[in-house]
Amino acid sequence: MNFSALTTFSIGLILFILFCLALTIQLSYYLGAFSRLAFRKEAASPQSFPPASIIICAKNEADNLARFLPSIFEQDYPSYEVVVVNDCSYDYTADCLKEFALQHKNLKIVTIQEDENYAHGKKIALMLGIKGAQHEHLLLTDADCKPEDKYWLRGMMTQFKPDTDIVIGYGAYEKQKGLLNKIIRFDTFMIALQFLSFALKGKTYMGTGRNLAYKKALFFKLKGFASHYHIESGDDDLFVNEAVNKYNSKVEINTANHTISKVKTSLAEWMAQKRRHITTFSNYSKASKWRLFFLGASQYLFFATFITLAVLNIALFLIIFLFILRLLIQIIIFKKSMAELGEKDLLMLTPIMEFILLFVYPLITVSNAFLKKNKWK
């Protein structure tokens, strides 16, 4: 064997080892974590219905409030209030809320006036809403969200046990026609697959403010958002990341207890939303960051080495077999998980959607370093 052939063999061997390493890491995530969501068995438990406060922050959300707030007041629940924070709105949000207040005695309006000398973000609005809430159990959602069912509040509150401080739900997006809608929803599904699966494994690291419940005492114990107030985002994921331990969180993913949000209709709007969200990652706990880093890095390494080995025609039949093996395991877990989360129509698009997002994520990360940060609207 000459030097050139030896070098080619060595490079091929290294690439194959890296491919197998990436595959092993990927399968450990799918079989060791994501299968928790796919094959979960919900244990029956006694139901409890503590008085609850639903918190919604609204800034120029009159149209959304008129459309979605009625479903909040239709909740089948013994005792609850709805706290809406009107955060410096200059549309007709105030008038809209006054009309709702005439019809619903359980509506509490918290109004923040514009201050030219002091700019604030959503965290201040949310903090004032929580301070104004009269009940210990809080359920957070957004003004552009609606519950999937009239039992949403009941389902989320039932998960609270004496040692439960946080309940994490699923916040879906509206289903519409077009590729962008499917990309956004697939991305949302992938993020949820990760954080819900790890939560079921006792390694909770985030939740989404579209559907998140926690106790008021926990909020004040952590001094609210004090540790990350300087970051525009993070009122949901950073708070959960700081507040959780192995035992104090539960997951509620029954389809009836999802929320459905208005979806972005332009790529620029969605990219701006994603840029805002990724600013929180660097403030996650070390364990959370490493867990997510290895998941993402192994995914890129898997595809990069597979393509390279295929182009070089090295162990072609073996790597194709292993590629298909991963795909089959992925499809099985996605099928079950998408059924749990009401996203079954995305299943057949899995291979192409995964590949699209592999290109989109770096673009978002790079653009975040150069473009102006997005503010609480």
pLDDT at 114 over 90: no
- Reported as a pLDDT band with limits 50, 70 and 90, residue 365 is confident
Helix (H) or strand (E) holding 141: strand 137-142
pLDDT at 224 over 80: yes
* 330 vs 119 pLDDT, higher one: 330
pLDDT at 5: 54
Closest by CA to 135, choosing from 175, 81, 174, 181, is 81
Query: Any idea which architecture 52-264 has in CATH?
Result: Alpha-Beta Complex (3.90)
Q: Beginning with the edge strand found earlier in the chain, give each strand of the sheet holding 80-87 in spatial order.
A: 107-112, 80-87, 52-58, 137-142, 212-215, 166-169, 249-252
Give how far the C-alpha of residue 19 lies from the chain's centroid of Cα atoms, to the nearest Å. Answer: 29
User: For residue range 78-103, what is the model confidence (pLDDT) as tens digits?
Assistant: 999 999 999 989 999 999 999 999 99
Two tokens, residue 327: 């795909």
Cite the DSSP H helix spans in 60-112.
Answer: 62-73, 93-103
- Reported as a pLDDT band with limits 50, 70 and 90, residue 2 is low
Please, what is the average pLDDT of the chain? 91
pLDDT at 142: 96
Report, as an integer, the average pLDDT of 93-121: 88
User: For residue range 247-277, what is the model confidence (pLDDT) as tens digits?
Assistant: 999 999 999 999 999 999 998 899 888 888 8
User: For residue range 61-74, what is the model confidence (pLDDT) as tens digits?
Assistant: 999 999 999 999 99
pLDDT at 372 over 70: no
| Three-state secondary structure call for residue 56 | strand
| DSSP single-letter state for residue 81 | E
Residue 375 identity (one-letter amino acid): K
Where are the domains positioned within the chain?
3-39+287-368, 52-264
The pTM of the full predicted model, rounded to 2 decimals, is 0.91
User: For residue range 187-210, what is the model confidence (pLDDT) as tens digits?
Assistant: 999 999 999 999 999 999 999 999
Residue 101 near residue 126, CB atoms below 8 Å: no
- Reported as a pLDDT band with limits 50, 70 and 90, residue 377 is low
Residue owning tokens 């514009």: 114
- CA distances from residue 63 to 57, 107, 266 in whole angstroms, order as listed: 14, 18, 19
Give the rounded percent of residues in the chain with a pLDDT score beyond 90: 75
pLDDT at 3: 47
Residue 56 near residue 211, CB atoms below 8 Å: no
Residue 258 identity (one-letter amino acid): H
